[in-house]
Structure formats: C-alpha cells, structure tokens
Structure 1
C-alpha cells in the first residue's frame, strides 16, 4: 500500500507539471484564479458531456460549466474539413443509431438536418497483409446469407442479455447471478451459437479496439457490437447522419448555445469534492488562466483514466474501483496519396486468414493500421491505428508510414516518380477507449461498487465506461443519471 501511495504521488506531481507546461506565470495565475459559481460542473465535452450540459441548462434550468481539454466539443467525432471544398470527412464517429425513438430529436432541436445513412461502412475491399504489404490471393468472405443468418443468431443472444447493458450498468447482476454466456469467451460463444460466418463483420466494426479478441469475454464484444448494431446491419434499425456530411455540426451548435459556459482547451489541475459541494480549478492551455469553479455537483463525463482522475483526490474506494479499468488507444485520421486506389479500401488481413480462416484476423498484435478506406467521391482515405495505452502519436504515425512503405515495396501500390510521401492531413488521438475489466474483477462485484460511486462526494458519472459506447446509447444512459443528479441538489 505504501509503494502504491508513492506512485500515486509521483503520478500526481507529473500530471500537475505537465498541466503547467508552457505557463511560466503559473504561480501568479494559480494564486489569483477567476472564480465562477455553478449548480453543476461537467467534466468532458464529448457525446455524454456536451449532451448533459445542454439538458441540465436548457431542460432542467440549472447553471453549468462544461470543461473540455480539446479546442472544440465532440469527443470522438473527429471531423476534418477540406478547406478547398468545404466538404467534411468524419474520421471518427461514422453514423448514429436511432435508439428509443428519441435520438433524432436532439439533432433537430439545433436545426441539424438529418437523413438516412447512405455512406458505406467500407468501400469494396482489397485484402492485404500489412505485415508484408502483399495482397492476399485467396481470402474468402462468408456468403451474405450465411453472414446474416449468423448475425440473427448473434442478435438473439444479444437480446437475451440486453438488460445487462441497457441503460448502462445500473442492473448488472450480482456475482452469483451473472449469466454464463456473458463471461464466455467470444471464441467459445462463436462455437456454441454457430456465429463463425458473422466474425468478419463483427471484427471489421469492433475488432480493432479489442485485444485478444477470441479470448475476450462476450460482454466486451457486445458492448460496441450489441443489439442496436446488429439490428442496424440487418436492416431492422434506422441509421442516420447529418445531411451536411459533418458530424461535428451538432457539437458546433452546442458550443454556440452554451457560449461562455464552455471552457475549452482546459484541464483540471486540482479538485476538492465533499458532500456539501465541489471546487474545481481548471487551467486554459492557451492563456494559462486558472478558473475556479465552485459548484453544488460534479458530473464526470470523461474517460476514467488515472491521468484524468489524478487531480480529483480520489479516496481509497474510488481508486480501488476506477483504477481497475483497462483501455485501448486508437488514433484516427485522414490521409492522401496519388498511388492509393480510389473507390476501394486496402484492408489489413493476415496471410493466415486465407481460405476462410477468419479467426486468424482476430488476435493481431498491437499496434497496427486497420486499413486505408477511400471516402466516396474523393481522393482522401480514412485510417485507424489501434494500440494499447502505451501507443503514442509519434509511434502511431510511424506505424502508418511504415505500413504505406511496405505496400509500395511489395508492389501492391505504385509509388509516384519522383516518390511522394504519404500525406497525413489529419490525425487525432482517440485517447483511451473500450473500458473493460478482467473477468475475476467482474465476479468480485465490481459493477455493484461502481454503481455505488454515483452521487458519492457530490460526484456523478456518465460516459462510455458506464454505458454502451454508441453516441445515442450514451444519451439514453445519461437520461437516467441526470434526474438522480438533479434530485440530489
């Protein structure tokens, strides 16, 4: 316990030092903070935090302050705009699922026109082993009817477990009542329910973010690829997107609405939390100004990583619970090069997967690039580099560039004469994703303890660690948290 405490102190000091990097006047600005008072301070301006701030202020009539470390709201949306044409390209979130028949209303309240999702999840693929750069000559996909039949079987299983996931972890079964299928490895579940023909589709949409996929408990696959995702692929759910083609439009409209109640480019450097209320000091990375927010309640909507949580002075129960979360870390981006083939995608597939050996693609070693997917009617390509939490932006860029070089060396694509480098036009850290905990931790009653943290020390929680990591599902879960928070005021 002593060594753990020392490490915590060291991490805390490191975080504070990094938070003040580039601010030579840190002592004076920390000593003379600007103070504001609010009913609720919301930490994190992604899907959950931005939605929460709007609802708390506009629908519940409360005063709010929304703290976001990036220079814009939106979290994983990651829309890049080509300045030459004004066209938007979504490197992160691709589309939305209309859950509970209410998701579209949130877009419409901001005047965001929406329509059916007509964008393909992936352009027609060419399968390439990115480790060698060589095309696969004998990679075989399941027949569409076989895939859909397997997806329907998967959907039946997912629907039987739906109450575990939706809305959020509120009703997660106690250790002695956890359904056996929930903790079954995905590989075993695949055999048990004859899901093999659905594996390429499930992997293509979720596998890049799950390490040791076949041995991962079924529940961690079903979180990103659950009932709503399966229904959408089978045509049973309606997917939609803004007609502008820019998912960022919603969050720009939210920012305009909230105005000065949004503190962008700001990180928490210190927080005090008690049953009587909270005090949060946040620093603006551009001005170095410290703002002290005195609030009745705190809503935490950011990823519960050690780095993010360190300034909040967690007590022993909070540390022992929240620090058990494990994550992966993808990077997303937009690239271009004259040699990349238009109207298609180069999809990363190991040579061992040829001949229908689809499980060979399930456990690729991090880090790796998942593919180069051409945005329709453009010369730009979406890229994703998946890795664990040690993956840095520098290393992720290296993975992407070295993958491109192997494609050229193998003759899969023809380099220009003279040679041109791959242009990385946009590259964003998705930060920690796919929050999960080991099976033995689940069996120890983890989720019951996690739920007990709600409201403790004037702090409430929402976000993808507490609910299905799909934007509209996060909103549904948030709608269960906000009334409890408001009642506690």
Structure 2
C-alpha cells in the first residue's frame, strides 16, 4: 500500500535531516571482519528491526517515551500481516490479512494515539455457510459443524484453571512443564472429551498447520482465553474498513526514521554500549549506530544472514520449525458473493480437511471479489499455492456457478507463520532459555515467536518490555 503524501514542511524536514546524515561516499567501516562502504550514518537510541505489528508499536511507544528510533523494514510498507486491498473499480477496501483486534485497553490506547477510529466488527458480510470437500469440488450433504458449546466450555475451563499464564507469553511456563502441554492436541482432545470444539478451533486458528499434531501448548497460545472472551464481547476493526490505516498513520509519525525496502547486511553487537547495523536500501548502504536493538522479525536462521549470532541464539533459533499461511483476493470466480464456502472432509477425523489447502472462501462485501485463506504445515513456493487456489476454485461444483477463469487480484505469503519447537525441547527449558536472551548484547526480543500470532497480545507483550528497553 502506498502512503499518502505528507505536508510540505514534513518533507523539507525529512530532506534536511537526511542531508545531515550523509557520509563521504568513500567512507568505509569494518564490521565482523569485513570492510564495508557506507553512504550514510544514522545514530539513534534504539534500532527496531522489523516494521510489523510489534516493531511499529515499539517504535511509536519508544518515541513517546523520549527515545530516538529508526525502523528497518524489508517491505515497502509498515504493518506486516495487516494488509488491505483497495478495489480499483469501487474504491472499497478489503482487509485480507489481520481483520480484527481484541477489545483491550492497549488496543484502544494505540488506536486513539494514532487517531484511527474503531468499531465492533460485524459478521454480516460473510453470509451463509456451505460445506464442500475442496479435494473433490463437491458439496458435503448433511454436514453440520455441530454445537461446539460442550467442548468449548470444557476447553475454556482447562485454560482458566491451569494455563491462564499463557495469555502473557511463554515466560510463565512452570518447570517441569505440565505433561498435557506437550501432548499432541489430538490426544488432548480425546483425554478431555473436547471433540465438539475441534472444528471451531481449526477454523479460527488458521495457520497452525496440522492442528491435531501440534503440541497442545501452541493451540492454547493460538486459541486462548482472549479469543474466547472475544466471542462474547466482540472484536474491533477500523470504522473505515481499512485496517492498514493504523500503520499509515504510524508511518506519518515515524517518517523519516523508517527505512523501507531495506535489507540487513551485517549486525555487530560486540560493544557493551552500542549495536551497529549495516543496511542496504535504495539510497545505498546506511550504517545504524544504536544504543539498543528491538528484534521484531521471525527468528529463523535464514532471516539472519550477516548477524553476529551468539552460540545461544544459534542453538535456539535453529530449533524453530514453522507452518505457513497465505491469503488472497480472487476475482472472476463465478461463485456467489454472499456465501462462505468452508472446506470439510467426509473422510477424516472431525471432518477437518488435510493441508495444504484452502480453509475457506468468503465474501468481501464487494461483488465479484472473494477472500481466500490457505494453510500448510510447511512453507511452499508461492507459485504452487497460487496454482492450487485457482484450480480449487475452478473445480468447485456449485449450483448456479457462472463461467469464468478465476484470477488473483492480490496475493500474500505470511510464511513463516507459527514458529514452534519439539515437545522434548519445550520440556528441556527452551522457552526459559529463549526469554533469557532479553537484554543480552543490547538486544530485546518481541514478535510472534516470543508470544503468539495476535497483534493485540503482542502489543501487550511489547508494552511490558518497554521499561527494560528504556532503562539506562
């Protein structure tokens, strides 16, 4: 999404500030044993790595607390998983990433701070649901999701009685780790007679991959007490039906201290009082000299080329596996625009479909455009996901379907999505060691791997981290 033009004064200030940061073109610095040419040097209190939900929140709040910041973002926009498509025909907006937030003080405060209005989300756009086996394209006659209440009640009781600490992150996990948290969720379901809620959890906690094989810990983290509370209180979304507005307003606040389209080349944290980050962007190579780093990207080793990782970081980050999640807006599907098509399988336990595949195809509120959610237990090539989305839609045998060749209006990969480690690693204290990284080598960690794929809860987590970052 392109940001609206800022006023002339801000542009002039930004140009003057950038001009003061320019270094001699022949300047070189030595980082991690390599001599590197530098076109500009930026000195800040804090460098935020990643401009998704956690990184943007950290940058705004640190600025409010009097710290100078710079944000490094690989994409051409802030917002991460929050993405909005603007239909060129109607001008209508469709959120095809993050769709809502919890009704929490941290959410209300952040939106008020950035002057973005919220309303309670309405589900009226989704219409009625019809159930199809997407592997065959045929409807599943007589299918009913059933009443999830008995299982949901028992599930919520387990969370409230034994695992409420998970709402704050992984830091409260006791040791030895409760054995139920390590069970494959399918076994936990049988142990506590939760069968009636499985379909609901599968549909809400999209992106977990193989739900029944996941350690129960990760299902609790994805489908926690906050989610259940949201069913009762309602979720929030933007009044303008454009969730990316939040990050556009944040960008306006943070510019020119945001480096978009930027790739980290080298990171050196050997100094006790400073972290150096070399970044490549359209303006050249920029050296960031910062007192502290906020790490807000997925901690997968393939994301960290050029980082001076410690042995602990190498060991911990190297254990992460991930599922994958993909979203798209499809046009010319031939499908009705007032029906949600849900993927079910008559041949599997609980009739949840096998992945990779589409979870559901739902209305967007704009005729001719449908929202598609796709999941996989591992990262797939984008071309493979796109082809499967289009072929699945083309093969659906829906009464009244009109002829047409489906196409993607927009597509996004949210991989890597759910970062997880093995039950044996959890039991051995993985998350105790992961959280012990906080503050080491001038670096503070936030993001989904340290809590959950939920912007609202990540803002709470990041807020709790701020005193440690600002303490000098």
- 1:38 maps onto 2:29 in alignment: no
Distance 1:171 1:411, change over 3 A: closer
Asked if 1:249 corresponds to 2:248, the answer is: no
2:216 matched residue in structure 1: 218
Looking at structure 2, the residues matched to 446 and 120 of structure 1 have their Cα atoms a distance apart, in angstroms, of: 43
For residue 298 of structure 1, report the CA deviation from its aligned partner: 0.6
RMSD: 2.1
The structure 1 residue matched to 2:57, chosen from 51, 58, 72, is 51
Deviation at 1:377, TM superposition (A): 5.0
- In structure 1, runs of 5+ residues without a counterpart are 1-24
Deviations 1:334-354 (A, max 9, x none): 11125111210121112325x
Give the equivalent residue in structure 1 for 2:340: 345
Mapped to 2, the partners of 1:199 and 1:32 lie a distance apart of: 54
Q: Does the CA contact (< 8 Å) of 2:208 and 2:377 recur in 1? A: no
TM-score (normalised: structure 2): 0.88
1:361 aligns with 2:352: yes
Unaligned ranges ≥5, structure 2: 1-24, 29-34
Structure 1 distance, partners of 2:55, 2:398, is: 46
1:126: which partner in 2?
A: 130
Match of 1:156 in 2: 157
- The normalised TM-score by structure 1 is 0.85
Deviation at 1:51, TM superposition (A): 0.2
Q: Name the SS of the counterpart of 1:75 in structure 2.
A: coil
Does the C-alpha gap of structure 1 residues 451 and 87 become closer, same or farther in structure 2, counting only changes over 3 Å?
Answer: same
Please name the residue that 1:269 is paired with. 265
Per the TM alignment, residue 323 of structure 1 is displaced from its structure 2 partner at its CA by 1.4
- Partner residue in 1 for 2:4: none
Q: Which residue of 2 aligns with 1:64?
A: 69
Structure with the bigger percentage of helix: 1
1:155 and 1:231 in contact (8 A); partners too: no
Cα distance in 2 between the residues matched to 1:288 and 1:96: 36
| Structure 1 stretch displaced more, 475-484 or 381-390 | 381-390
Structure 2 vs 1, CA of residues 74 and 184 (structure 1 numbering), >3 Å: closer, same or farther?
same
Note closer, same or farther for the CA distance 1:273–1:121 as it changes in structure 2 (3 Å cut): farther
Q: Does 1:297 align with 2:292?
A: yes
Match of 1:180 in 2: 179
CA offset at residue 163 of structure 1? Answer: 4.1
Partner of 2:226: 228
Using the TM superposition, give the Cα deviation of residue 188 of structure 1 relative to its aligned residue in structure 2, in angstroms: 2.3
Q: 1:120 to 1:441 in 2, by over 3 A?
A: farther
- The separation in 2 between residues aligned to 1:465 and 1:182, in whole angstroms, is 17
Task: Tell me which residue corresponds to 2:330.
Answer: 335
Q: Give the direction of change, closer, same or farther, for the CA distance of 1:123–1:328 in structure 2 (3 Å limit).
A: farther
> 2-side partners of 1:123 and 1:187: how far apart?
31
SS at the partner of 1:260? coil
| Displacement after TM superposition at 1:121 (Å) | 8.7
Equivalent of 2:100, from 86, 95, 110? 95
Larger displacement relative to structure 2 (443-452 or 210-219): 210-219
